[in-house]
Amino acid sequence: MRYLTDRKRAVGKGAAHTGTEHHWYMSASAVALAFLVPTWLYIFGHALGQSHEAVVATFARPFPAILTGLVLFVSMRHFAKGATMMIEDYSHGSTRRGLVILAHSLSYVITATGLYALVKIAL
């Protein structure tokens, strides 16, 4: 005799077999980005058009550097999860696996490149 409730049997049985995990992650990261991106755009917009030395001085300070790193990391994770959800919905088989790997690889390369550039500026 199985002692599982109906709810316990239903958890994780959505179309992608992950329940609402992706939805909650996307919602949380969207809220985080809603606060991070306007703040970052203000700092970036202020630095835009200034001399190279002024831009390096702006992003060498701790708050703009940390904020830029957070925006890069959170936005690329948001992109990777969103692209994965879209790919899982519209493609099948080995094409799906290849596209998911491509989306994650692209997000990791962009994150690594951006963080490398940020570290070179900040140090």
DSSP 87-104: HHHH--HHHHHHHHHHHH
Please check whether residue 18 lies inside any domain of the structure: yes
Res 89: pLDDT = 86
Please check whether residue 72 lies inside any domain of the structure: yes
Q: Which tens digit of pLDDT belongs to each residue from 22-74?
A: 788 899 999 999 999 999 999 999 999 999 999 999 999 999 999 999 999 99
Say which CATH number the domain at 16 has: 1.20.1300.10
Res 54: pLDDT = 94
Contact 121, 56 (CB under 8 A): yes
Please check whether residue 75 lies inside any domain of the structure: yes
Of 10 and 91, the one with more pLDDT: 91
Please check whether residue 50 lies inside any domain of the structure: yes
The whole domain housing 28 covers 6-122
Please check whether residue 66 lies inside any domain of the structure: yes
Of 15 and 85, the one with more pLDDT: 85
Report in angstroms the alpha-carbon separations of 47 from 42, 50, 57, 64, 123: 9, 6, 9, 11, 18
Element (H, E) at 43: helix 21-47
Q: Dihedral (C-alpha) 70, 71, 77, 79: value to the nearest 10 degrees?
A: 180
Report in angstroms the alpha-carbon separations of 35 from 67, 91, 103, 105: 11, 33, 25, 26
Q: What is the mean pLDDT of residues 5-21?
A: 65
Please check whether residue 1 lies inside any domain of the structure: no
Number of domains in the chain: 1
